[in-house]
Amino acid sequence: MDTEYVIGLLKHDMMAEHQAIIQYLAHAYAMGEGEIACEIEAISRDEMRHLEWLAETIVELGGDPTMERLPVDFSSAPPADQLHKDIDLEQMAINDYRAHIQAIDDPKIQRLLRRILHDELRHQDEFRGLAEEAAKGEGMTAVPEGEQDQPIPPEPTAPPRLASILNEGVRHEYTVILQYLFHYFVAEGKELSEEMREASINEMQHMGWLSEELSGRGGRPDMNHEEPVLTRDMIKALQANIAVEESVTGSYTDHLPEIEDPDLRLLLSRIRDHEMYHSAVFRDLLEEVKQESGAAPASGQAAKPIEKRPSTIPSVGSLKSQDR
């Protein structure tokens, strides 16, 4: 079977997984805190693992993973209706994986796709159960006892300027997630690959934190991104990563004086400091890569040892931290 044909099918599957991740997260953020939102986020993490498996298979076949996505339905609807959209999206994935298992004659790839198909069938059942709960009003944020008969207050509306600041952060985090994931998928060398992976995980946390803060204030996260720098040239990749981290560090610093809420200001400060850490790590990696490739370090000196992150970094796809 033609390898490029197989890579094309797997890229389509990657785009569909990417679509599902964003659609499910958008629905979870809009529902606020509650069991249903948590269940949806758990399903999205499964889809992130699928994305990673597909990307690794594409690289093994000699191709470049795609960081594009199929169109996402961002329209508003009651929770039960949104969950029915998710049921339909899972059916599309089920149909595609069944067709691709039949179309691909590589036993190893067939086995992988069957594994993913098993997850999608389970996800569809889970979404059906969640839709039934949502239709009954179960699994949503509970009304405090004694307030059930009180008039329903109007939904909060995020101040336009605050929504703009938070959405600028969401778009940035989404962009670098894709950028760092691509570099993780194609990087040669365990240390470089792992650092890219962990940076992408941290940016996933940032995107989740900012989206939740915005949703909690009545805003809607802008789940779109700028153009990521996707290259196999690790010198160019790291230079691009440093540049984007320095840019966003400046943006967060500039926005901090505008944030009145002390908790939100603390969160943005924390994210800003994480970005500064990423920039420093990428600089050390750049010096190492230059040395290995025979290029002289920019400083003319040997690179400093890379500071290792704690081993408690969550798994790929973790968007939330239990302790901010």
141 in the Ramachandran plot: left (φ > 0), alpha (ψ -120 to 50) or beta?
Answer: beta
Place of tokens 């399903």: 43
Tens-digit pLDDT profile for residues 198-212 = 999 999 999 999 999
Confidence at residue 141, expressed as pLDDT on a 0 to 100 scale: 52
SS3 143: coil
pTM: 0.85
Q: What is the pLDDT of residue 298?
A: 52
Token pair recorded at residue 205? 């946390």
Instruction: List pLDDT tens digits, range 102-121.
Output: 999 999 999 999 999 999 99
Q: Structural domains in the chain?
A: 3-135 (1.20.1260.10), 160-293 (1.20.1260.10)
Six-digit token string for 76: 């508003």
Task: Return the beta strands (E) in 98-229 as ranges.
Answer: none
- What pLDDT is attached to residue 302? 43
Contacts 24+ apart (CB under 8 A), 194-202: 195/281, 195/285, 195/306, 197/316, 198/309, 198/313, 199/241, 199/278, 199/281, 199/282, 200/176, 200/316, 201/313, 201/314, 201/315, 201/316, 201/317, 201/318, 202/274, 202/278, 202/313
- C-alpha distances in Å from residue 10, one per residue of 7, 229, 236, 297, 324: 5, 21, 27, 38, 37
Which pLDDT value is given to residue 295? 67
Query: Any idea what DSSP says for residue 258?
Result: G
Q: What pLDDT, on a 0 to 100 scale, did the predictor assign at position 320?
A: 39
User: What's CA 228's distance to the chain center, in Å?
Assistant: 14
* pLDDT score, position 293: 85
Are 9 and 104 within 8 A, CB to CB? yes
Q: Which residues of the chain have pLDDT under 50?
A: 142-145, 147-153, 299-324
